[in-house]
């Protein structure tokens, strides 16, 4: 997924090979990840696709089934992975992930701790941010979940950047051998306040901690604990409002310069100089409006910085 090997970088000359991970794009809300295997086929409502037809084609290409249906084959990215991964837990999405990486000040070479691993959605983006020289240590107390995460990181080619441990961070804290090494710590735990003292020990002075909690009561308690040896405590909620854009016909019959201002925003407007000329005409227009449905809440992001005491 990541160009850890510079030769695997996306390019006009790089083509899909046997064994590559590809994202099969049917529609924006229908994608899946697949390993290309020359003897394999993909079967869906558009027909049967032979993997062997894909080999040698560039990423981003449109491929056809036996029935003439088509899909696109995309190079995997952490964003696409977040949309196709198998949900073993509730996962973090792009808005929270992006703010977490930025606010935790994660750059290549950083050592980052995470608990729990969950489905590995954030972990994949953490790995991208610390590559090629840093490392992510991620912990989950659920053995099977940790094993599935490990398999996923193997599949996405991130295993050299990520170590998955089975450990109850709320109960046992982070391993002692990591003490004082972490640049950043991310907690997604039901009782984050139990893990905060240990997170404080593993962080470098001025290192940043983030705790993700869906409920304000969790935030309240986490903040009470944080105040003893953390500073710069900031709590955010971040959401995305998306827009739908479509082409439609707009009746311009009554349109004149005077009422243009009252038309819906962002709507493409076309009129001609002579108003009388376009009476009762309709024009194809680009119409945009915010999507009616959106996520109203994901979680609160609590950030804090370890005090410099030496």
Partner 1 sequence: MSQNKSQAVIIQNPRVTWEGCSVLLDINDGDRLVFARLSAASTLKIGNKNFSLQPLIGCPFGSSFQIEIGDKGPFLSRFVASIEGNNAQEKEDFESQEISKDNRALVDNNKAQSLTGEDIDAMRRQGATGDEIVDALIKNSATFEKKTLFSQEKYKLKKQKKYAPKVLLRRPVARSICEAYFKKYPARIGFLRVDTLSLLLSMANVSANSDVLVVDMVGGLLTGAVAERLGGTGYVCGTYLGGTPYPMDIVRIFNFSDEVCNRIVRAALTELSLTPTVTLEQIHQQENELNMECLSNPQMSSSVSIEEISPSEKEISVPVPENVVSLVNKMGKSTKAGNKASQQAIELWKENGFSSLIIAAPELDIWSLLQDIWPLLSNSAPFAIYHQYLQVAPCDSSLMPSCILMMPLATCMHNLQLGKMAIGLQISEPWLREYQVLPSRTHPCMQMNAFGGYILSGTKICSS
Report 77-96 residues binding partner 1 (CB under 8 A): 77-80, 94-95
Q: Toward partner 1, which CB reaches closer, 191 or 271?
A: 271
Of the pair 39, 217, the CB lying nearest partner 1 is at 217
Choice from 85, 112, 113, 131 touching partner 1 (CB under 8 A):
131
By the rule CB under 8 A, 147 interacts with partner 1: no
Question: Shortest gap between Cβ of 144 and partner 1 (angstroms)?
Answer: 27
Is the previous residue joined to 116 through a cis bond, with omega within 30 degrees of 0? yes
H or E segment to which residue 26 belongs: strand 21-27
Q: With contacts defined by CB under 8 A, name the span among 139-147, 150-158, 190-198, 264-272 that binds partner 1.
A: 264-272
Given the complex with partner 1, which of 46 and 72 has the nearer CB atom?
A: 72
Detail the residues annotated as belonging to a binding site for S-adenosyl-L-methionine. 119-122, 140, 168, 188
Q: Is 306 helix (H, G, I), strand (E, B) or coil?
A: strand
Q: Select the residue interacting with partner 1 from 262, 276, 292, 310 (CB under 8 A).
A: 310
40, 59 contact by CB (below 8 A): no
- Kindly list the distances between the CA atom of residue 85 and the CA atoms of 108, 286, 304, in Å, as whole numbers in the listed order: 24, 34, 30
Identify residues 210-239 at the interface with partner 1 (CB under 8 A): 216, 219-220, 223-224, 227-229, 231, 233-239
Q: Give the residue with the Cβ less far from partner 1, 41 or 286.
A: 286
Cβ contacts of 236 within 8 Å, gap of 6 or more: 99, 300, 301, 303
Residues 13-32 interacting with partner 1 (rule: CB under 8 A): 13-14, 25, 28
For residue 265, state whether it binds partner 1 (rule: CB under 8 A).
yes
Q: What gap in Å lies between CA 235 and CA 115, rounded to an integer?
A: 19
Q: Which of 35, 41, 43 is nearest to 18 (CA)?
A: 35
Rounded to a whole number of angstroms, the CA Rg of the chain reads 25
Tell me: does residue 55 bind partner 1 (CB under 8 A): no
Is 128 one of the binding residues for partner 1 (CB under 8 A)?
A: yes
**Closest distance of CB 109 from partner 1, Å:** 6
Is the CB of 145 or the CB of 152 nearer to partner 1? 152
CB of 37 to partner 1, least distance (A): 20
101 makes contact with partner 1 (CB under 8 A): yes
Cβ nearer to partner 1, comparing 46 with 181: 181
Contact region with partner 1 (CB under 8 A), list: 3-11, 149-157, 162-170, 185-193: 3-11
Q: Angle at the Cα of 206 (from 204 to 212), degrees rounded to 5?
A: 90
Contacts of 10 (CB under 8 A, 6+ apart): 3, 59, 75
DSSP string, 154-211: HHTT-TTTEEEEE--HHHH-S-GGGTTTEEEEEE--SSHHHHHHHHHHHEEEEEEEEE
Least Cβ distance, residue 142 to partner 1 (angstroms): 25
25-28 long-range contacts (CB < 8 A, ≥24 apart) are: 25/71, 25/72, 25/73, 25/74, 26/71
Site for partner 1 in 150-209 (CB under 8 A): 177-178, 181, 204-206
Residue 118 CB, shortest distance to partner 1, in Å, is: 18
């Amino acid at each position: 997924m990541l160009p850890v090997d510079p030769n695997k970088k996306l390019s006009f000359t790089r083509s899909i090979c046997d064994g590559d991970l590809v994202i099969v794009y049917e529609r924006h809300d229908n994608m899946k990840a697949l390993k290309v295997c020359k003897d394999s086929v993909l079967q869906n409502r558009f027909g049967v696709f032979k993997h062997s037809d894909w080999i040698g084609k560039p990423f981003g290409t449109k491929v056809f089934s036996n029935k003439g249906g088509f899909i696109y084959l995309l190079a995997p990215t952490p964003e696409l992975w977040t949309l196709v991964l198998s949900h073993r837990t509730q996962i973090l999405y792009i808005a929270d992930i992006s703010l977490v990486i930025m606010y935790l000040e994660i750059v290549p070479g950083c050592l980052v701790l995470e608990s729990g691993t969950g489905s590995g959605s954030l972990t994949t983006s953490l790995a991208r941010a610390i590559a090629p020289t840093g490392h992510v240590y991620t912990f989950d107390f659920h053995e099977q979940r940790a094993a599935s995460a490990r398999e996923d990181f193997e599949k996405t080619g991130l295993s050299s950047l990520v170590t998955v441990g089975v450990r109850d961070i709320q109960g046992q804290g982070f391993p002692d051998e990591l003490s004082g090494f972490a640049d950043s710590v991310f907690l997604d735990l039901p009782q984050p306040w139990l893990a905060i003292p240990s997170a404080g020990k593993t962080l470098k002075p001025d290192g940043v901690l983030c705790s993700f909690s869906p409920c304000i009561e969790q935030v309240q308690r986490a903040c009470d604990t944080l105040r003893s040896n953390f500073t710069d405590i900031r709590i955010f909620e971040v959401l995305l409002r998306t827009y739908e854009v479509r082409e439609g016909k707009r009746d311009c019959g009554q349109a004149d310069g005077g009422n243009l201002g009252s038309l819906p925003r962002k709507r493409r407007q076309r009129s001609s100089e002579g108003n009388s000329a376009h009476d009762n005409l309709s024009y194809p227009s680009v119409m945009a409006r915010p999507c009616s449905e959106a996520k109203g809440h994901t979680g609160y992001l609590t950030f804090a910085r370890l005090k410099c005491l030496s």
